[in-house]
């Protein structure tokens, strides 16, 4: 059975850091359990070590600390790394063996002392964060660590960030926060939070490493795995989806057909509409089911379907709760749409990148092997400069949407640029 770090693709350095930290954390627990050792002293030593202490005998790379931040491009495995580390902290052997109950329940998402916060909307609010911080301060029921994993820590609202900062500044002795964010840029994570965390940078895994894991773990045929890994541009989850999901492949093909279709102004607007609508449809499919189930569950909890006067009163009093749910669902749907659109834009950027590298005769493998001939034709027609302008148009569109420009407006502007060059 592979250990908990086996799914972390092409991240040897980070895995090494995390293994040593997990061992250090296990040593802290052992020392605390030994009757001759004062627990407080051990934990003080731990905190000092984490702060880059002077103690010359301590390997600075091995230190365990209360707050970590995992950074890297989307798909590099930030939350996979955080979850694996959480498992190693709960592992009976302190290694992340993958077999003991601590490892097993953490990886399955059922460990009582591990909380995964996955924001499903555009931001993580202060109330959610306060509740989380409060629970994280309790004594771990398994006797090891309370671990809180916050994926997309870049979506913390300012107030939520402040609530988290307070907890990180004075951490309860057995609490560990694992944050995941694209980068440590102040737009993603506040400088003060960053300064309290130990950093684990992840890199974009090489296509070969991604293909290897698809073959080994998912049983994907090698040639499909190689194609999917290249097309996904280092995004492990995306590569897996392309290898296994025919719908995802169909959507990608539709996106890559865009450059061929841009024959005039009308066609450019049509292409924009098609892209937006495809993203909406994809997002709707992914959120509709949960949304309906959530609403039904809440209505049942509030007594809808009951006929008594009490039930009617409960419904009136609960209008706020329903409204709150609707607000969260709307935010989640918006996020899903943006994510779907962003995936399409990344595919499109890959196409123009291929055209650019071909125009420059750069000795690099194309991202999209199946549209390489088309990209080659584009390279001849546009030259390097024209290919670069088009690539930039796609990247500008991504940036504009991230900066809250209305997607349709950003995509229409992009399509016109792609057509005109």
Using the contact rule CB under 5 A, the part of the chain among 95-103, 107-115, 343-351, 413-421 near Zn ion is 95-103
Q: Which is nearer to Zn ion, 19 or 398 (CB)?
A: 19
Report, in angstroms and rounded to the nearest whole number, the Rg of the chain calculated over CA atoms. Answer: 24
Instruction: Output DSSP code: residue 99.
Output: S
Cβ of residue 135: shortest distance to Zn ion, in angstroms? 24
Nearer to Zn ion among residue 106 and residue 190 (C-beta) = 106
Q: How far is the CB of 8 from Zn ion (least distance, A)?
A: 16
Question: Rounded to whole angstroms, how far apart are CA atoms 79 and 87?
Answer: 12
**307, β-bridge pairs:** none
- Within residues 261-320, the interface with Zn ion by CB under 5 A covers none
CB 145 within 8 A of CB 25: yes
Which residue in the set 27, 31, 43, 100 belongs to the binding site for Zn ion (CB under 5 A)? 100
The count of residues in the chain is: 421
**3-state DSSP helix/strand/coil percent for the chain, to nearest 5?**
65, 5, 30
Q: Which two tokens stand for residue 76?
A: 């590099």
Closer to Zn ion by CB, 111 or 194: give it: 111
Closest approach of Cβ 94 to Zn ion, in Å?
8
Sign of the dihedral through C-alpha 280, 286, 288, 291 = negative
Q: Please give the C-alpha separations between residue 215 and each of 98, 226, 239, 244, 365, in angstroms, as whole numbers.
A: 20, 9, 11, 12, 20
Beta carbon of residue 89, minimum distance to Zn ion (angstroms, whole number):
10
Contact call for residues 262 and 102 (beta carbons, < 8 A): no
Of positions 64, 91, 236, 346, contacts Zn ion by CB under 5 A: 91
143 contacts 174 by C-beta, under 8 angstroms:
no
| CA-to-CA separations, 83 to 4, 78, 191, 200, 228, in angstroms, rounded | 9, 9, 24, 13, 25
214 binds Zn ion (CB under 5 A): no
Under the binding rule (CB under 5 A), the answer on residue 23 touching Zn ion is: no
Contact between 117 and Zn ion by CB under 5 A: the answer reads no
Residue 25, interface with Zn ion (CB under 5 A)? Answer: no
Say whether residue 103 binds Zn ion (CB under 5 A): yes
Stretch that binds Zn ion, among 96-104, 216-224, 334-342, 377-385 (CB under 5 A): 96-104
Is residue 387 involved in binding Zn ion (CB under 5 A)? no
Burial (CB < 10 A; 0-12, 13-18, 19+), residue 336, is buried
Handedness of CA 193, 194, 195, 201 (dihedral sign): positive
Residue 29: CB minimum distance to Zn ion, A? 13
Judged by CB under 5 A, the stretch of 91-99, 127-135, 329-337, 407-415 that binds Zn ion is: 91-99
**Stretch of 94-102, 126-134, 149-157, 220-228 lying at the interface with Zn ion (CB under 5 A):** 94-102
| Nearest distance, CB of residue 111 and Zn ion, angstroms | 11
Nearer to Zn ion, 26 or 228 (CB): 26
The least distance separating Zn ion from the CB of residue 390, rounded to whole angstroms, comes to 50
Shortest distance, CB of residue 281 to Zn ion, whole angstroms? 42
Three-state DSSP state, 212: helix
What's the order of all strands across the beta sheet hosting 146-150?
A: 114-117, 146-150, 175-181, 67-71, 198-201
Q: Smallest gap, in angstroms, from Cβ of residue 100 to Zn ion? A: 3
Q: How far is the CB of 84 from Zn ion (least distance, A)?
A: 11
The smaller minimum CB distance to Zn ion, of residues 17 and 95, is found at 95
Which span sits near Zn ion by CB under 5 A: 83-91, 114-122, 145-153, 335-343? 83-91
Q: Is 97 in the site for Zn ion (CB under 5 A)?
A: yes
Residue 228 in contact with Zn ion, rule: CB under 5 A: no
- The span from the CA of 170 to the CA of 152, in Å, is 22
When the beta carbons of 103 and 164 are compared against Zn ion, the nearer one is: 103
Q: Could you list the residues that contact Zn ion (CB under 5 A)?
A: 91, 97, 100, 103
């Amino acid at each position: 059975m592979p250990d908990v770090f086996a799914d972390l693709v092409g991240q040897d350095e980070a895995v090494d850091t995390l293994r040593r930290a997990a061992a250090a954390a296990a040593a802290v627990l052992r020392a605390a359990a030994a009757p001759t050792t004062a627990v407080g002293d051990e934990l003080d030593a731990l905190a000092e070590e984490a702060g880059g202490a002077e103690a010359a005998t301590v390997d600075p790379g091995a230190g365990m600390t209360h707050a970590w931040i995992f950074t890297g491009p989307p798909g590099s495995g930030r939350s996979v790394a955080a979850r694996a580390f959480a498992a190693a902290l709960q592992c009976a052997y302190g290694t992340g063996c993958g077999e003991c109950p601590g490892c097993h329940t953490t990886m399955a998402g059922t460990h009582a002392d591990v909380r995964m916060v996955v924001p499903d909307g555009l931001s993580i609010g202060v109330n959610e964060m306060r509740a989380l911080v409060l629970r994280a301060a309790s004594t771990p029921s398994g006797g090891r660590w309370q671990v809180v994993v916050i994926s997309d820590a870049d979506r913390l609202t300012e107030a939520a960030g402040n609530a988290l900062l307070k907890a990180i500044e004075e951490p309860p002795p057995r609490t560990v926060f694992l944050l995941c964010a694209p980068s440590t840029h102040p737009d993603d994570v506040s400088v003060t939070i960053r300064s309290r965390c130990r950093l684990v940078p992840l890199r974009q895994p090489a296509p070969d490493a991604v293909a290897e894991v698809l073959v080994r773990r998912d049983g994907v045929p090698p040639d499909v795995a190689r194609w999917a890994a290249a097309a996904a541009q280092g995004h492990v989850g995306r590569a897996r989806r392309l290898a296994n999901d025919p719908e995802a492949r169909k959507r990608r093909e539709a996106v890559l057909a865009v450059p061929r279709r841009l024959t005039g102004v009308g066609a450019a607007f049509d292409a924009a509409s098609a892209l937006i609508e495809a993203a909406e449809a994809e997002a709707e499919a992914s959120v509709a089911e949960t949304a309906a189930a959530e609403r039904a569950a809440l209505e049942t909890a509030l007594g809808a379907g009951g006929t008594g006067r009490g039930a009617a009163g409960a419904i009136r009093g609960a209008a706020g709760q329903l409204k709150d749910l609707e607000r969260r669902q709307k935010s989640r749907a918006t996020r899903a749409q943006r994510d779907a659109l962003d995936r399409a834009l990344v595919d499109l950027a890959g196409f123009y990148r291929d055209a650019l590298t071909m125009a420059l005769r750069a000795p690099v493998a194309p991202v999209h092997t199946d549209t390489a001939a088309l990209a080659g034709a584009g390279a001849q027609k546009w030259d390097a400069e024209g290919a670069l302008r088009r690539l930039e148009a796609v990247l500008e569109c991504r940036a504009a949407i991230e900066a809250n420009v209305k997607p349709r407006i950003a995509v229409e502007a992009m399509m016109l640029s792609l057509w005109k060059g």
